[in-house]
Amino acid sequence: MKTGQNHLFIPGPTNVPERVRQAMNVPMQDMRAPDFGDLTLPLFEGLKKVFKTESRVFMYPGSGTGAWESAIQNTLNVGDKILISRFGMFSHLWVDMAERLGLDVHCIDVEWGKGVPVDEYRKVLEADKSHQIKGVFVTQNETATGVTSNVAAVREAMDAVGHPALLYMDGVSSIASIDFRMDEWGVDLAVAGSQKGFMLPAGLSMLGVSEKALEANKSGGMERCYFSFNDMLKLNDNGYFPYTPPTQLFHGLRESLRLIEEEGLENIFARHHRLAEGVRRAVAAWNGCRLCATGPEWHSDTVSAILAPEGVDAKDVIKIGYDKYRISYGAGLDRLAGKVFRIGHLGDLNEGMVMAALGISEMALNEAGAKVELGSGVAAAQDWFLNGDSAAVSLAAQ
Ligand SMILES: *Cc1c(COP(=O)(O)O)cnc(C)c1O
């Protein structure tokens, strides 16, 4: 018999707050009703605040991957050249999609554990005098490795060399959780999904689109139908959609936007940093473990990918955690399979939940054969949560 609750520490879907769950428990409704816009129009406005854009955010029934596809299809033509970098499973999948949609992909492969190579981007863009490159792609938060990249710096590099390409950003595991400023950073296409920072079930993909990207849509783009901007544009301003929208998720989104507004975006970012730092300090204290991210400049505040000690199969840690302690970790993806387990620390989360994950991790690590001192990571996280920057275990000292 299984008592108590499951501990969900995959980086998505994340925990859905009770208020959001309850808000979705409403009867089906008429999506062509004259007052349907009362529900949907404030959602567009709310999303614009979270994305920090004055332009536009589309919502598609779909997962985050759908918004990737939409971004590409509506603004790029088959054969267009793009600049992208790959340093984990999600940035890899974006490269794969770009290739399959017929783009001419200039991909810079980076060691997994690091992120977008801004200096190299700059060199490639500077050398592209005839502006053949139409899109520059960045994954703000690589969920497979727990690495956050500096998107503002990519915009600076583009501006410094006067490159006019559109800037595409995957923000599926970062938007609404860590700092993101669509307009200020000049991001033209920003991709998000409902099941991570927005604390909703999967099923809604969101796409921030700049004025410049809307212009590119007017004059080009690939064959597209389901994801067509134009079909959305015709109806969205009155709160309608070209096909049946997921009304339950809209009710959930309305509540999650309220929660985000009540807590405040900057407080949300600070909370994610505080919780992530607790996890990082625990990892630093665990004998033989380390983060996949190779340095503090890459640390992700939404997910930590943790390399198990030499000789320990991270799959065992995950399996023991799941079978015995009812915790779900993120698995190691692709070349990291068996090497890492991931703790997702985003969305509806607090210190107590993180402490549970860390305590369980110490037991699961030991059962899987690691020699991690019981309580070592827990104590380091407690110290951090209690004493903040003056905590005894400093990461710099490790
Ligand atoms: C989860 C995730 C995706 C994929 O999103 P789906 O909603 O599963 O389609 C893409 N990119 C990143 C960075 C992610 O974390």
Tens digit of each residue's pLDDT (9 = 90 or more) over 93-118:
999 999 999 999 999 999 999 999 99
Cβ–ligand 1 distance for 149 under 6 Å, the answer: no
Tell me if 276 sits within 8 A of 345, measured CB to CB: yes
Structure confidence by residue, pLDDT tens digits, 158-206? 999 999 999 999 999 999 999 999 999 999 999 999 999 999 999 999 9
For the domain with range 7-13+264-397, which CATH number is right: 3.40.50.300, 3.90.1150.10, 3.40.50.720, 3.30.200.20? 3.90.1150.10
Q: Please choose, from the candidates 192, 230, 187, the residue with its C-alpha nearest in 3D space to the C-alpha of residue 210.
A: 187
The rounded Å distance from CA 220 to ligand 1 centre is: 26
Please enumerate in sequence order all residues whose Cβ is within 8 A of that of 74, keeping only pairs 6 or more positions apart, or say none: 213, 216, 217, 221, 222, 224, 227, 228, 229
3-state secondary structure of 249: helix
- What CA–CA distance (Å, rounded) separates 113 from 145? 6
Structure confidence by residue, pLDDT tens digits, 382-396? 999 999 988 875 554
- Structure tokens belonging to residue 228: 């067509």
**Mean pLDDT over each residue of the chain, to the nearest integer:** 97
The per-residue pLDDT for 398 is 46
- Structure tokens belonging to residue 369: 């054969």
Q: Which atom of ligand 1 is closest in space to residue 173's alpha carbon? A: 15
Q: Is the pLDDT of residue 377 over 80?
A: yes
Cβ–ligand 1 distance for 173 under 6 Å, the answer: yes
Domains 7-13+264-397 and 18-262 agree in fold: no
Cβ–ligand 1 distance for 73 under 6 Å, the answer: no
State if pTM tops 0.95.
Answer: yes
Most informative mutation of 84, 96, 172 for ligand 1 (most atoms within 8 A of CB): 172
The per-residue pLDDT for 27 is 97
**Architecture of the structural domain at 18-262:** 3-Layer(aba) Sandwich (3.40)
The per-residue pLDDT for 397 is 46
Cβ–ligand 1 distance for 193 under 6 Å, the answer: yes
Q: By percentage, how much of the chain surpasses pLDDT 70? A: 98
Q: Please choose, from the candidates 156, 212, 163, the residue with its C-alpha nearest in 3D space to the C-alpha of residue 185.
A: 156
Cβ–ligand 1 distance for 80 under 6 Å, the answer: no
DSSP lists the bridge partners of residue 9 as 329
Structure confidence by residue, pLDDT tens digits, 249-268? 999 999 999 999 999 999 99
The per-residue pLDDT for 38 is 98
Name the helix (H) or strand (E) containing 1.
none
| Residue 267 identity (one-letter amino acid) | N
Cβ–ligand 1 distance for 170 under 6 Å, the answer: yes
Q: Which atom of ligand 1 is closest in space to residue 12's alpha carbon? A: 1
The rounded Å distance from CA 342 to ligand 1 centre is: 15
The rounded Å distance from CA 210 to ligand 1 centre is: 21
Q: Which atom of ligand 1 is closest in space to residue 139's alpha carbon? A: 13
The rounded Å distance from CA 251 to ligand 1 centre is: 22
Give one word for 328, left, alpha or beta, with left for phi > 0 and alpha for psi -120 to 50: beta
Q: Is the pLDDT of residue 83 over 80?
A: yes
Structure confidence by residue, pLDDT tens digits, 136-162? 999 999 999 999 999 999 999 999 999
The rounded Å distance from CA 389 to ligand 1 centre is: 32
Q: Which atom of ligand 1 is closest in space to residue 143's alpha carbon? A: 15
Cβ–ligand 1 distance for 90 under 6 Å, the answer: yes
- What CA–CA distance (Å, rounded) separates 344 from 146? 9
Enumerate the domain spans of the chain.
Answer: 7-13+264-397, 18-262
3-state secondary structure of 242: coil
